[in-house]
Amino acid sequence: MSTEAKSTKGIWKVITASSMGTLIEWYDFYIFGSLAVVISTKFFPSDNPTAAFLSTLATFAAGFVVRPFGALFFGRLGDMIGRKYTFMVTLLLMGGATFLIGCIPSYESIGFMAPLLVLILRLLQGLALGGEYGGAATYVAEHAPKGERGYWTSWIQTTATFGLFISLVVILITKGALSAEAFDEWGWRVPFWLSIVMVFVSYIIRRNMHESPVFAKAKAEGKTSTNPLKESFGNRYNLKFVLLALFGAAMGQGVVWYTGQFYAMSFLKTVMFIESSQVDGLLGIALLFGTPFFVFFGWLSDKVGRKSIMMLGMLCAILLYRPIYKKMYETTDVAHKTELLEKSKVVAMTKINSHQVLDSVYTSTKEFSDGTTWQQVKTVHLDNGKPIMVDGKAKSDTKTTIVANSSDKWSLIWLVFIQVIFVTMVYGPIAAFLVEMFPVKIRYTSMSLPYHVGNGIFGGLLPAISTYFVTSAKEGGNPEFYLEGLWYPIVIAAISFVIGMVYLKNKNNTAND
């Protein structure tokens, strides 16, 4: 067996062990987002569904906001005691927090303790993820052959999207195995509980890994840092690269990543009202076909440079987001479809709610000539048989659901797939790009902070901010309200694009090898 074959076999072992743990951490982190609509009804007051959903998104975003703190804390440990042991700790922390979220009683059982406990555990998830990714990316990059870092670290880059894909598959399987009532009652907890098994398996695999050879050599020679935080951010020369990595690359990459995957999912469910399982299915297909492009663009970045690919991905997103989302919305907009009037109906009934009080429920159903179905359930809350009046109006909740026909479904898959390609362009090369910017002794700390500020702050806040923009525009009567949420990622990506084009070099940096 040749030396090269041995080397390749060794790196595949490293990739498998690293990717497995990182994938599970992403799975843990994203089932919260994938189940946001259900969670909003379990852990928050049900009086105002819109406020409950925004609160859920805010809690989801809180996990992102603390990621930079996890990056600092665990990055420092990783640069001082080693990469391997640090991301073993983050793996266990993430798995434990995820499992416990699935065990928290509902708001109806313990009141405000429910959202408080969810928030605390969500913060622990964010801290763990803040330490995990930088360690895994650094670990793989330090094992990669010279000139091939883009290709090998791109496998780590697939784990974020693949973790989201796995979360959607687990949710779909759980929904398929249970009745709608059972899933709503307790089945949504299963994906959280499953995490503990996956983390245990990953722990066993990672336990046998060796320390990064580059870090081990630096440690043996006494060249590791005694104060990585001071050397990373107290040194003006290194701080300049940290800021450049953040504003010229990670910030734009973060908003493109979250728009193409999470905002697309939220938009389909809460703005277009597409049925939840149909959204999970079509998003899963788009992710499955798009994921190999992470590896392609990572490999390509070794040949043509990382900057050109990342900047092109940002530019495509800036120019094409509004046309893409306009097309998505119009694809299933029933205002543009022909209604089959003979099949339209309204059914009125009374129903006992969770507070053992009768409500009036009106279910309107419409079918359209192209096979699209539309249903709206309006629940009017009663008190002694009369509507409860708020500001002169009967208090009511309305839930609209659209089931797209097969042709529209594939159109939506294509439109989401295009966005995933933008994601793979900005995200595929970025691990190698960040690793190469910093020297070994402070690499874990220095690369983790810009990555998690870019993704955690600028990217993680995107669903909540964009949903707020859409909601405000809709209440203000803007006919194109559904496009307003895109201004946030477009502006952030545009700023990052300009900074990146002016200050980043296209030639891959090998000075820190």
Domain formed by 7-224, architecture: Up-down Bundle (1.20)
Q: Which of 119-133, 159-173, 265-279, 341-355 has the highest mean pLDDT?
A: 265-279
Alpha carbon distance 425, 411 (integer Å): 22
Spell 256-268 as b/e; 16+ CB within 10 A means b.
Answer: bbbbbbbbbbbbb
Would you state the structure tokens that stand for residue 110, as one six-digit string? 């313990």
Segment among 55-69, 117-131, 136-150, 314-328 with least mean pLDDT: 55-69
Is the Cβ–Cβ distance between 426 and 252 less than 8 Å? yes
Is residue 309's pLDDT more than 90?
A: yes
Q: Do the Cβ atoms of 164 and 123 come closer than 8 Å? A: no
Q: Over 80: is that where the pLDDT of 50 sits?
A: no
Tell me the C-alpha distance between 336 and 341, whole Å.
Answer: 15
Q: Which pLDDT band, with edges at 50, 70 and 90, does 511 fall under?
A: low
- Write down the pLDDT at residue 3: 45
The winner for highest mean pLDDT among 19-23, 98-102, 218-222 is: 98-102
**CA separation for the pair 74, 90 (Å, rounded):** 8
User: For residue 512, what pLDDT is reported?
Assistant: 55
Q: Comparing C-alpha atoms, which of 100, 7, 6, 118 is closest to residue 52?
A: 118
Q: Which of 135, 83, 64, 72 is nearest to 445 (CA)?
A: 72
Q: What is the rounded average pLDDT for all residues in the chain? A: 86
Residues 6+ apart with CB under 8 A from 456: 64, 65, 66, 67, 68, 126, 130, 254
465, 262 Cβ separation under 8 angstroms = no
212-233 confidence digits (pLDDT tens): 788 888 888 887 887 888 888 8
- Coil/strand/helix, residue 424: helix
pLDDT band at 48 (very low <50, low <70, confident <90, very high): low
In this structure, the number of other CB atoms found within 10 A of the CB of residue 170 comes to: 19
Distance, in Å, from the CA atom of 285 to the CA atom of 412, rounded to the nearest integer, reads 11
3-state secondary structure of 401: strand
Which conformational region is residue 38 in: left (phi greater than 0), alpha (psi within -120 to 50 degrees), or beta?
A: alpha
Q: Which pLDDT band, with edges at 50, 70 and 90, does 329 fall under?
A: very high
Pairing of strands 345-352, 389-390: unpaired
67 vs 456: CA distance, rounded Å: 6
DSSP structural state of residue 48: -
How high is the pLDDT of residue 9? Answer: 64
Model pLDDT, residue 500: 95
- For the stretch 245-287, pLDDT in tens is 999 999 999 999 999 988 998 899 989 999 988 998 999 899 9
User: Is 26 within 8 Å of 193 (Cβ atoms)?
Assistant: no
352 contacts: CB under 8 Å, gap ≥ 6: 358, 359
Cα separation of 455 and 472, whole Å? Answer: 25
Question: Mean per-residue pLDDT for 148-168?
Answer: 86
**Are 151 and 295 a contacting pair, CB within 8 Å?**
yes
For residues 316 and 313, give the distance between their C-alpha atoms in angstroms, rounded to a whole number: 5
Query: Confidence class of residue 4 from pLDDT cuts 50, 70 and 90?
Result: very low
Nearest to 149 by CA among 439, 425, 436: 436
What single DSSP character describes residue 211?
Answer: P
pLDDT reported for residue 460: 78
